[in-house]
Chains A and B, each alone.
Chain A
Amino acid sequence: MEYLEKRKRGTEDKKMIKSKNKWVFALIMILLLAGIITYTNNPKQQKDEIIKIGAILPLTGATAQYGESLRDGMELAKEELEKKGLNLEIYYEDSAGDPKQAVSAYQNLKLKDTDIIVSALSRSSMALVPIANNDKIPLIMTVVSAKIEKTPYVLRFYPNDTGYADAHFSVINTTKYKKISVLYVNDEFGISLKDAIKRNAKEKGIQVVYEEDFEPGTKDYRTILLKVKETNPDAVMVVGASPAEIIGPLKTMKELELNADFFEIATALSIKSVRSQTDTEGAYTTAFPFVLSKSGNEFREQYTQKYGKEPFFAAPFGYDIVNLISQATKGKKVSGEELLNNIYGLKTFNSSNEEIQIKENGEINPALYSVKIVKGELEEVRA
């Protein structure tokens, strides 16, 4: 009897367990289904499907003006694209214009799984070239003019060293300028441009009577320019990486009565707020089509409306790069290789600095013009 009762109880228990199992199974299925629905509707998941741009910019330090302007331009482009329903993520990291900080910023962005890196300034960007290429992460460099060898995953959206020097040398008066002196900032940008100036001068039969480098952030140019004065040049060509490295030598030249024409290569004096800082009358500089109002007026209007100030010349580059990436990806995550192929596939890009050809060697170089400052305004120099 006892055995039968036990067996009966056992059968009932088994039935109960079976019925319980059904409920547990149903619950698991419901939870799984809910999980799948939630997962597919999860914004994070959506976030993983959109393109992520990492931007390594000099947001602090002597060249922070470039970084801030590029970021403003990038944010403006992002905002406009969002209005059109095209979403992308931009992560900013500060390089402070320093190669070590740029590499560390790159590692941070890599952890965030960014699809493409944008970096600015020669001195910090050059350190990223081999790493990005090795990791097969596309790198678009801007405000970078230093000489670089063709590297598969690296693009430059800016004039190169030759482009900068050509702007002045294509229109320079070879009968007026027989002897020139070159002052350049001691970094990749300065050295590359100095070499380009020397190449151009040689071709034009102009003698470089003196060349000297100065350290980034130099404030005192008196003794350097005293050495230049001793060589009695017809023109002094200055390659500085920040506006202060242009204004400083120009101011000191006037104080020391160094009677030679002043040629600035790095476009700093093309910005009104920079050239209004000191007496720049008669100085030569280079200017982008955007600065000369030849193009990009729509961008200028939107930028001024959003930020309440005129854009610095670096700002349209930030804006254009984000637009170029969005055109190449349509805002969707693609592999590095596909992204590059899509960019090359565009062939040309209608930028804020006129239409630019996308060359197969990774160069996307906007035009530059030689200009003279006359009554505070920019006057294009013609041959």
Chain B
Amino acid sequence: MSIVIQLLINGLIAGAIYALVSSGFSLIYSTNKFVHFAHGSTIAFSAYMLYLFFAILKFNFGFSVILAVILASILGLGMNFIVYRALRKRKAAELILLIASFGLLILFESLILIFFGADVKTIDYIKVAKGMEFFGAIITPLQIVIIIVSFMLLVSLFFLMKKTKIGKAMRAVSDNRDVAEIVGISSEKIYNWSFVIGSAIAGIAGVLVALEQNLDPTMGTGLVIKGFTAAIIGGIGSVPGAILGAFLLGLVENFGIWFLPSGYKDAIAFVLLFIFLLFRPNGILGKKKEGDRR
């Protein structure tokens, strides 16, 4: 029984990390309608900023976290403002924006490598300790924080999208940009807001991942692939769906590698993705578009 609970906890921890990535990723996709792979570099950037402020410059931990998240948010906004907006002005297709996002991902990975080097780094704020027992399973305080933050994000994003003016405007742009423009919603403004909020969430993800795992310049790439998979499983464009997809992905991966060799972890994730693409292409919470024939 304790094994099942431990696997459940392992799945929830992995899912919570994926959820932090996929929620911001999905939020940006829902309004901008292109896959922002450079979201991975925002996560890595935030992790390295925390390392810079806390481990190198010896700032207060809380202050370092706030700075890292703010800078991640500014980075996201900057990417949209400098690169994507310029491309949109030139009527660039979604594919061009996707290629640009790949370019940005590689650029920022390389910049991190140049400025921080390739050696493995850890943020020694929470000392490695024995985990706490929970119904025979073991979980560390940091892992509890990751799960709680992820659930809080799920609730906050739900309220942001449903109850706030900006959330409603985001949904309007997401549904139909032209109609939203007619009723006076500036789509450019909404794009900026989605990058600010989405990148701030990526910043939080970067901070938590940096505390739980190690830092390396390519850390964002693996995470954004899992975040993307989770977003498709949950329903691309649906933020709550992306979070649910992330938890499902984390659980399936961890239960899967209990029975199969762990080398199959990624294969398990992609089999799950294929199953969804075949039998439920709109994902868990994704809406069926008009004209979808099934």
B213 & A219 in contact (Cβ 8 Å cutoff): yes
Task: Give the complex CA separation of A278 and B211 in angstroms.
Answer: 12
> Beta-carbon contacts of A229-273 to B below 8 Å, as 1s and 0s?
010000000000011100110010011110000000000000001
Chain B 71-103 per-residue mask, 1 if CB under 8 angstroms from chain A, else 0: 000000000000000000000000000000000
User: Which of A212, A218, A222 touches B254 (beta carbons < 8 Å)?
Assistant: A222
The yes or no answer to A220 lying at the interface (CB within 8 A) is yes
Say if the beta carbon of B3 comes within 8 Å of chain A. Answer: yes
A226: interface (CB < 8 Å)? yes
Query: Please, how many angstroms separate the alpha-carbon atoms of A186 and B262 in the complex?
Result: 10
Q: Do A277 and B124 form a contact, CB below 8 Å, given A255-B129, A312-B119?
A: yes
B134-148 interface code vs A (CB 8 A; 1 in, 0 out): 000010100000000
Closest A residue to B130 by beta carbon equals A257
> Which residues of B have CB within 8 Å of A112?
none
State which of A62, A67, A215, A226 has its C-beta within 8 Å of the C-beta of B266.
A215
B222 engages A254 (CB within 8 Å): no
CA distance A223 to B222 in the complex (A): 18
In chain B, what residue has the closest Cβ to A60? B113
Let me know if A379 is at the binding interface, CB within 8 A.
no
Contact of A214 with B262 at beta-carbon distance under 8 Å, contacts A226-B7, A243-B120, A248-B213 already known: yes
Is A49's beta carbon under 8 Å from chain B? Answer: no
Residues of chain B in range 1-34 having any CB-CB distance to chain A below 8 Å: 3, 6-7, 10, 13-14
| A217 at interface, CB cutoff 8 A | yes
B258:A65 contact, CB within 8 angstroms? no
Shortest Cβ distance from A253 into B: residue: B128
Q: Which of B124, B128, B266 has the most CB of A within 10 A?
A: B128
A223/B257 contact (C-beta < 8 A), A68-B117, A215-B263 known? yes
Chain B residues numbered 245-294 whose CB sits less than 8 Å from any CB in chain A: 254, 257-258, 261-263, 265-266
Q: Could you tell me if B120 and A277 are in contact, using CB atoms closer than 8 angstroms?
A: yes
Distance in angstroms from A73 CB to nearest chain B CB is 15
- A347 within 8 Å of B (CB atoms): no
Specify which of A67, A257, A274 is in contact with B131 (CB 8 Å cutoff): A257
Q: Write the nearest CB–CB distance from A202 to chain B, whole angstroms.
A: 22
Indicate if the CB atoms of B117 and A256 lie closer than 8 Å: no
For chain A, the count of residues having a C-beta within 8 Å of the partner chain is 39
B141-170 CB contact bits vs A (8 Å, 1 = yes)? 000000000000000000000000000000
* Residue among B127, B219, B254 making CB contact with A279, cutoff 8 Å: B127
Partner of A223, one of B109, B217, B254: B254
Q: Does A35 contact B (CB under 8 A)?
A: no
Is B263 a contact partner of A213 (Cβ separation < 8 A)? yes
Residues of B within 8 A of A226 (CB): 3, 6-7, 10, 258
**Contacting pair B265 A215 (CB below 8 A):** yes
Asked if A251 and B128 sit within 8 Å, CB to CB, the answer is yes
Does B214 sit at the interface, judged by CB under 8 A?
Answer: yes
B123 to chain A: closest residue by CB: A277
Hey, which chain A residues are within 8 Å of B121, CB to CB?
277
What residues on B are CB-neighbors of A65 within 8 Å? 117-120
A254 touches B130 (CB 8 A): yes
7 interchain residue pairs of minimum CB distance = A64-B118, A277-B122, A243-B120, A65-B118, A222-B10, A244-B120, A65-B119
Interchain Cβ contacts under 8 Å between A and B, 16 examples: A60-B110, A68-B118, A212-B262, A213-B261, A215-B263, A217-B222, A219-B213, A219-B222, A220-B10, A223-B7, A224-B257, A226-B7, A227-B262, A257-B130, A277-B121, A277-B122
Binding site for A on B (CB under 8 A): 3, 6-7, 10, 13-14, 109-110, 113, 117-122, 124, 127-131, 138, 140, 213-214, 216-219, 222, 254, 257-258, 261-263, 265-266
**What residues make up the interface of A, taking CB atoms closer than 8 Å to B?**
60-65, 67-68, 186, 212-215, 217-220, 222-224, 226-227, 230, 242-244, 247-248, 251, 254-257, 273-274, 277-279, 312
